[in-house]
Structure 1
Amino acid sequence: MGSAEERVVAVIMVGGPTKGTRFRPLSLNIPKPLFPLAGQPMVHHPISACKRIPNLAQIYLVGFYEEREFALYVSSISNELKVPVRYLKEDKPHGSAGGLYNFRDLIMEDSPSHIFLLNCDVCCSFPLPEMLEAHISYGAMGTLLVIKVSAESASQFGELIADPSTKELLHYTEKPETFVSDLINCGVYIFTPEIFSAIRNVSTQRKDRANLKRVSSFEALQPATRNLPTDFMRLDQDILSPLAGKRQLYTYETMDFWEQIKTPGMSLKCSGLYLAQFRSTSPHLLASGDGTKGATIVGDVYIHPSAKVHPTAKIGPNVSISANARVGAGARLMNCIILDDVEIKENAVVTHSIVGWKSSIGKWSRAQARWRRLQCEAWNNNPRYL
């Protein structure tokens, strides 16, 4: 997997407050990357995965949130994982490739031979060491993590065609109007430092077109990029597509789970996927109990150490309970995320729901998502234990 002298850095794109509007109202109170999934901040999962990369020197978080919003977490996770984690604030959105290029001098401080690039709102098992090994064997500039999905859902993502034998990326198109392939881009990459030259070339070409626009009206006939700033570069359209088929990019296919975390509803599903992954990666984070000395635990459940759960409660499957939450006697929780300082009172039922910070679910009440709406019903009879 390369010599011991080779160093690797990881860059995780976390976005900023002008993005992620589909995640509202949850992102109004907390930056989306810090929203808890399976009891850990969303960004914690890719960071933890990076810890498994051989010869990892540094992890960078790149976004345009205020630095103070990440300061406490960055300090905590650096101490926990014993790996330097640093937040780099963009002055404005530069795009995925532009953001990487904007901090190229800092990223190259450790003279890395390889650079991982991950999107924060991706939920997967992050097979990064295996991906690195494949990338080194290809001997190319970049490797994309890819996965096969249904033909119906493929058009929501970047579709690509790869050589079935060599795994070379032959064609890439972002969210095509017609079906191209059931193989899609997962938003996880590894590059050699040559990626910065590729990005610089795109930037130079765009500046040249901007200069041409000043002396010619021909640019008005080229609408694709005329409104983009010269320093805003998208990794998919501006870098991957032009390099496809040139023996510069290859693919590594994952057979495990993968999702994008775009909406609150998806956070419930992804929390469950991470809880299931904890069985093999972090079993100590999963709660247990048979109802004798503590609550009855069904399936994969995370309970923060500061939370108070009544011994007669029944919790799970797929439940995450955050700090200082209180769960009363006879309560039933299934497929839900309970945030900080929430109180679930006696005999209440919460299912397929996210209960917001400092909220209270009353006695004998039911909170359940239906048709993507959260409804709370007061019951006249005893709750059903499903």
Structure 2
Amino acid sequence: MKIIVPMAGRGSRLRPHTLTIPKPLIPIAGKPIVQRLVEDIVKVAGEKVDEIAFIIGDFGKEVEANLKSIAEGLGAKGSIYYQDEPLGTAHAILCAKESMQGNLVVAFADTLFRADFSLDTASDGVIWTKRVENPKAFGVVKKNTEGVITDFVEKPETFVSDEAIIGIYYFKDGEFLRDELQYLLDNDIRDKGEYQLTNALENMKNKGSQFTSGTVNEWMDCGNKNVTVETNGKILGFIDGEEELISPEAKLDNCEIIAPVFIGPGAKVSNSTIGPRVSIGAGTVVENSKLSDVLIQEDSQVLNANLSNSMIGNKAKFDGNFSEISIGDYSVLE
């Protein structure tokens, strides 16, 4: 099995944090978003994943090396492809057409999930979904009484279904998907100005493919600061007891820790109350502070703070009286 991960987007809604690092590499509970995503897919895949293909923008060689390392850590080959301009979901996936053989999972790297099912690899395809209150903002599916998908609709103006496509798909025949995506581009078939995966899915269905849905228990967004901090807290709650959250290489002095909390190696925390739902990256220093629902990346300083619903980048410094902040890498606020 292969995993295709389109992740070339700029992450504009998560600025300033995405000015210096791609959104899928923002850490959630100590691991990059994209790493948590592919780890969870491997858990439900039901068979060995032999390649993970990442579709990126001009992110630099260090990022490319990190992505390949993530794949290798899961026993898979890491491949890098490039999307030079944002032309829609179908175009993004097709950038990895050389890797589209056999059965594969496509997963867009701006969301995380929790699920307790195993993937049915005998199906023609599985579209992972979650019921939502406002389906106008999503692609949605309609199903018949047997649970087979009958329609794919991209961002419906009128109500069609509240079962939203979360951005993770399984395909039994990667070549078939590749050919249908190529057909859209060759014939300039667009929806709302872009080449949409849902159009290819509709064509595949009309040619005989039967798609079912896999419903996830939790679907967590990382689109902006508020929901990223919320997602960090949810993931901490899920993995508390599954992963070692407080590194033995962290130094804690006169601290109250209210779980769940992640503290990375080399972090130094003193005279502070930390938690719940706080992540502190490796090498970060926190002194004389009270933090809850906060995500701090690596090698930063947080002094004399009383913060909640906040996000702090790498190598930043905060020393002040604000109760809620969002500052990016190398920023200073004191």
1:278 and 1:247 mapped to 2: Cα distance? 40
Match of 2:132 in 1: 149
Asked whether the 8 Å contact 1:342–1:358 carries over to 2, the reply is yes
Match of 1:273 in 2: 234
Query: Are 2:92 and 1:122 aligned?
Result: no
Asked whether the 8 Å contact 1:67–1:87 carries over to 2, the reply is no
Could you tell me how far 1:55 is from its partner in structure 2? Answer: 1.9
Residues 67 and 163 of structure 1: CA distance in aligned 2, closer, same or farther (over 3 Å): farther
1:355 and 1:102 mapped to 2: Cα distance? 33
2:33 and 2:106 mapped to 1: Cα distance? 16
Could you tell me how far 1:286 is from its partner in structure 2? Answer: 4.9
The residue type equivalent to 2:211 in the other structure is Y
Residues 345 and 201 of structure 1: CA distance in aligned 2, closer, same or farther (over 3 Å): closer
| Partner deviation per Cα, 1:297-319 (whole Å, 9 max, x = no partner) | 21211111111011x32111110
Partner residue of 1:84 out of 77, 88, 92: 77
2:141 and 2:196 mapped to 1: Cα distance? 16
Query: What SS does structure 2 have at the residue aligned with 1:43?
Result: helix
Residues 63 and 361 of structure 1: CA distance in aligned 2, closer, same or farther (over 3 Å): closer
Could you tell me how far 1:159 is from its partner in structure 2? Answer: 2.0
Residues 202 and 355 of structure 1: CA distance in aligned 2, closer, same or farther (over 3 Å): closer
Q: How many residues align?
A: 321
Query: What SS does structure 1 have at the residue aligned with 2:323?
Result: strand
Residues 323 and 246 of structure 1: CA distance in aligned 2, closer, same or farther (over 3 Å): same
What TM-score, normalized by structure 2, do the two folds share? 0.85
Residues 344 and 200 of structure 1: CA distance in aligned 2, closer, same or farther (over 3 Å): closer
Which segments of 5 or more consecutive residues in structure 1 lack a partner in the other structure?
A: 1-7, 210-223, 371-376, 379-386
The residue type equivalent to 1:304 in the other structure is G
1:171 and 1:80 mapped to 2: Cα distance? 38
Query: What SS does structure 2 have at the residue aligned with 1:61?
Result: strand
Residues 126 and 235 of structure 1: CA distance in aligned 2, closer, same or farther (over 3 Å): farther
1:334 and 1:154 mapped to 2: Cα distance? 31
Match of 1:39 in 2: 30
Asked whether the 8 Å contact 1:46–1:126 carries over to 2, the reply is no
1:341 and 1:367 mapped to 2: Cα distance? 21
Asked whether the 8 Å contact 2:115–2:218 carries over to 1, the reply is no
Match of 2:299 in 1: 341
Partner residue of 1:296 out of 216, 240, 256: 256
Query: Are 2:13 and 1:14 aligned?
Result: no
1:35 and 1:58 mapped to 2: Cα distance? 22
User: Bigger shift: 298-307 or 242-251?
Assistant: 242-251
Asked whether the 8 Å contact 1:287–1:301 carries over to 2, the reply is no
Match of 2:181 in 1: 199
Match of 1:358 in 2: 315
Structure whose residues are more often strand by fraction: 2
| Partner deviation per Cα, 1:109-148 (whole Å, 9 max, x = no partner) | xxxx311000000121256x712x2x41x3x2x2200111
1:107 and 1:169 mapped to 2: Cα distance? 23
Match of 1:260 in 2: 221
Query: What SS does structure 1 have at the residue aligned with 2:137?
Result: coil
Asked whether the 8 Å contact 2:259–2:275 carries over to 1, the reply is yes
Query: Are 2:81 and 1:101 aligned?
Result: no
| Partner deviation per Cα, 1:303-351 (whole Å, 9 max, x = no partner) | 11111011x321111101012211113x2110011122222224x2111
Asked whether the 8 Å contact 2:29–2:235 carries over to 1, the reply is yes
Which segments of 5 or more consecutive residues in structure 2 lack a partner in the other structure?
A: 327-332
Match of 1:158 in 2: 139
Asked whether the 8 Å contact 1:98–1:199 carries over to 2, the reply is yes
Partner residue of 2:148 out of 158, 164, 168: 168
Match of 2:15 in 1: 24
Residues 105 and 302 of structure 1: CA distance in aligned 2, closer, same or farther (over 3 Å): same
Query: What SS does structure 1 have at the residue aligned with 2:141?
Result: strand
Aligned-CA RMSD value: 2.9
User: Where in structure 2 are the equivalents of 1:365-384 lying within 5 Å?
Assistant: 365-368=321-324
Identity percentage over the alignment? 23
Residues 89 and 328 of structure 1: CA distance in aligned 2, closer, same or farther (over 3 Å): same
